[in-house]
Structure 1
């Protein structure tokens, strides 16, 4: 009788979800070669090829697509079995800058739940500055924010966020007129970054929309009202970086940082999974 190794099944599901052996290894706190070995063992046990691999992409094979749903059910059943003796639920309060999450937020939450269904998570989305204030006050277990200076030490780099002048494809700018901007209300470090770049380039600008977060700013951009400085990774689907077309100054990249003093294994594992899931959105 064939027996499936649960860690190998979990490695397969992570690769399928994150579309990357590297990201799956980060989530499991192991090496890429170890993940590859686990999946090879699983494929050997099943006698089926589950993943199609090229130097740049990873995708499910036909057999892998058939198996992945059952694999997720197996992991869920395994977690339920482990929790059958009243395992205490771990509550994790995480603050995330609204400039870091976009339309992929449901994917991130789904991956967190799949990695540990016993985890109770509270997510607070605000500006990087406000998130760090909450963290320093002890009201957050972890913070994921944009780094705009080097004053705060420590933390782990999640990724380098590339910004662009995002606009709807049909946005029109009249030469000689101020650039129509959609921004976050001041004080906002991304707003400051954007207007400093425009002022240095002597590009006139005017705020025509002030939002209460990137969701509202993104809506204004998608509606064609204005241009906004947004991370290309989280910009609304269908928008484009209109900067080169209009000759706008290049925007700098910013590091996305994870700050946490948590040391327990369950919490650290959950944060590694979340960081890996965020990184997977740039692959």
Structure 2
């Protein structure tokens, strides 16, 4: 029976998740050549090619697709075993923007806990602007936010497209203020929508001000108002109504990861979260 080498399995999983030898080497703090050697040794031990590499793509082979889940479980078990012998407990504070966080977030955090049981993550949900301020003040160690203004630092995780969403029977008469449901007045996504309406000369009125994204979603789902949502996170049962009512188009942005973490293990844990976040993007 072939024995598994932890470094080889880690190289395989990282290459598979990042779909790049170069990015995998960067994530693991080594060279592309070293990553290739680790993968080749693992494939030799198992007697199967796990990764298919072409000039245009890096993807799992048929055998690699069969092995990937077991490989992840192997790494998680290894990390739990090592963490159980260590008193090195670590923590970091992570901010996730309300307009970014979807129903997959608990699953992502569970994966991170399995990856590193010695790590405690303190999660803060808020709007992107507040989280960016908190990050700059050093109150949180990392943040996954919608890119604000002209700031260009951070790692891009995914594109983010906005739209006007409401129920199919939502009614709006031309000339009347557009009924909006909104988070706090400091919400950057709200500002994008209202600035677009002002520029188009369309009157608007906030008729439902919520303290959380789920409350705003409930108001829109009930047909009380429309609101700006990421197209990934629009409430179930709603549709994009911008063209139907002649509402202005909204600019796309990017979801970015900001981090000041220097500890290698914490950085690797955050990398695991970033990879998992990408997997859940449509």
- Could you tell me the TM-score, scaled by structure 2's length? 0.78
Q: Check conservation: 1:28, 1:273, Cα contact below 8 A.
A: no
Q: Once the 2 structures are TM-superposed, how far is the Cα of residue 10 of structure 1 from its aligned partner?
A: 4.2
Return closer, same or farther for 1:172/1:12 CA change in 2, 3 Å cut-off.
farther
Aligned pairs, number: 278
Q: Once the 2 structures are TM-superposed, how far is the Cα of residue 88 of structure 1 from its aligned partner?
A: 0.3
Return closer, same or farther for 1:226/1:58 CA change in 2, 3 Å cut-off.
farther
Return closer, same or farther for 1:203/1:61 CA change in 2, 3 Å cut-off.
farther
Return closer, same or farther for 1:221/1:13 CA change in 2, 3 Å cut-off.
farther
Distance 2:64 2:165 in 1: 40
Match of 1:227 in 2: 226
Q: Once the 2 structures are TM-superposed, how far is the Cα of residue 196 of structure 1 from its aligned partner?
A: 1.0
Match of 2:209 in 1: 210
Q: Once the 2 structures are TM-superposed, how far is the Cα of residue 252 of structure 1 from its aligned partner?
A: 0.8
Q: Once the 2 structures are TM-superposed, how far is the Cα of residue 248 of structure 1 from its aligned partner?
A: 1.4
Q: Check conservation: 1:91, 1:122, Cα contact below 8 A.
A: yes
- Could you tell me the TM-score, scaled by structure 1's length? 0.78
Distance 1:36 1:117 in 2: 29
Return closer, same or farther for 1:253/1:63 CA change in 2, 3 Å cut-off.
closer
Gaps of 5+ in 1: none
Q: Once the 2 structures are TM-superposed, how far is the Cα of residue 64 of structure 1 from its aligned partner?
A: 4.7
Give 3-state SS (helix, strand or coil) of 1:157's partner.
strand
Give 3-state SS (helix, strand or coil) of 2:243's partner.
helix
Return closer, same or farther for 1:70/1:189 CA change in 2, 3 Å cut-off.
closer
Q: Check conservation: 2:20, 2:58, Cα contact below 8 A.
A: no
Gaps of 5+ in 2: none
Matches within 5 A, 1:6-155: 6-10=6-10, 21=19, 25=24, 45-46=45-46, 64=65, 70-150=70-150, 154-155=153-154
CA-atom RMSD in angstroms? 3.7
With a CA cutoff of 8 Å and minimum separation of 6, indicate the structure with the bigger relative contact order: 1
Distance 2:162 2:181 in 1: 14
Q: Once the 2 structures are TM-superposed, how far is the Cα of residue 30 of structure 1 from its aligned partner?
A: 7.6
Q: Once the 2 structures are TM-superposed, how far is the Cα of residue 123 of structure 1 from its aligned partner?
A: 0.5
Which sits farther off after the overlay, 213-222 or 56-65? Answer: 56-65
Q: Check conservation: 2:142, 2:260, Cα contact below 8 A.
A: yes
